[in-house]
Amino acid sequence: MRAAQGAIRAVPIVGITGDMIANGLVKSVARPDGNITGISLLSPELNGKRQDIIEAVSGARRMAILAGASNNTPQQLKALQDARRARGIELAIFSVRTSEDIAPAMNEIKMSGAAAINVLSSALLNANRSLIFKRAAELRLPAIYEWPEMAEEGGLIGYGARLTGIFRQAARMVVKVLRGVKPADIPIEQPTNFELVINLKTAHAIGHDVPVALLLRADKVIE
C-alpha cells in the first residue's frame, strides 16, 4: 500500500493491514486524510490475546514468537515481551524476512526450549502457513495463528476474524469508492467478530492435550 500510495497518489486505495496508523498509512481512524482507507486488523491487541490462549494451552514459562520482520514493529514486539516478563514468562522473538528463513527459525525455537509458538499477524507467514504447519508438527510444537481458517487447514489453534468477513467488509468500502466517496472521507474500519477454532486432530498428532476449559470457549472444535 505504501508503494502504491507513493506512485499513484490520485488513485483511491482500499487496503487491509495490521495497524493502519502504526504502519504510517493514515493519520487517523476517523479521517484517513489521503488516498488510502481500509481495514485495520487490530493486530497488536489480538497478538496479545493469542499469547494468552497459547499460554493456557502449554502451561509453560518459556514461549516463542514467530514474526514477519516487515509487519511487526520493534515497539509492538517489545511491549508484548515486557508484558509477559512481568508475569514471569520468558518470551523469545524470532523474526523472519523471507520464506527461506522460516524453517531455520522454527528449528531455533525448538532448540531454545520454547514450549509453544505464537505466530504473529504477517502476510509472509500467512502465505507460508502450510510450511509452518508441517514444521510445527514435525517439531511437536503447539502453535496459534491469526486466522480461524488456519486451524481448519491443519494448524492447532486459530483466533481472529474470518477472512471471508474481512473481504466482505473491504468490498463494501470499495463500493463506496466506486460511488464517488473519497477515501479521506471513509473511516478506517476494524473487524468486530472473532472466532476461536481448535483442531484436536493436530493436538493428538503432536501429542498435546488442550485444556477442557479452553475447548468449552471455542467457537469450533475439529475432531
Residues 6, 16, single domain; the answer is: yes
Question: Domain for residue 13, yes or no?
Answer: yes
The number of domains in the chain is: 2
Q: What is the pTM of this model?
A: 0.90
Residues 55, 100, single domain; the answer is: yes
The CATH number given to whatever domain includes residue 108 is 3.40.50.2300
Q: CA-based angle 192:128:56, to the nearest 5? A: 55
User: 199 is written with which cell numbers?
Assistant: 483442531
Residues 22, 96, single domain; the answer is: no
Q: Which domain holds residue 122?
A: 43-160+195-222
Residues 91, 124, single domain; the answer is: yes
Residues 57, 153, single domain; the answer is: yes
3-state class of 197 per DSSP? strand
The pLDDT of residue 80: 85
95 vs 28: CA distance, rounded Å? 28
The pLDDT of residue 183: 93
Residues 24, 54, single domain; the answer is: no
Per-residue pLDDT of the chain (223 residues; tens, 9 = 90+): 888 888 887 899 999 988 888 878 888 899 998 899 999 988 778 888 999 999 998 888 899 999 988 767 777 788 888 888 888 899 999 999 999 999 999 999 999 999 999 999 888 999 999 999 999 999 999 999 999 999 999 999 999 999 999 999 999 999 999 999 999 999 999 998 999 999 999 999 999 999 999 999 999 999 9
Q: Please, what sign has the CA dihedral across residues 56, 204, 132, 113?
A: positive
The pLDDT of residue 82: 87
Residues 167, 87, single domain; the answer is: no
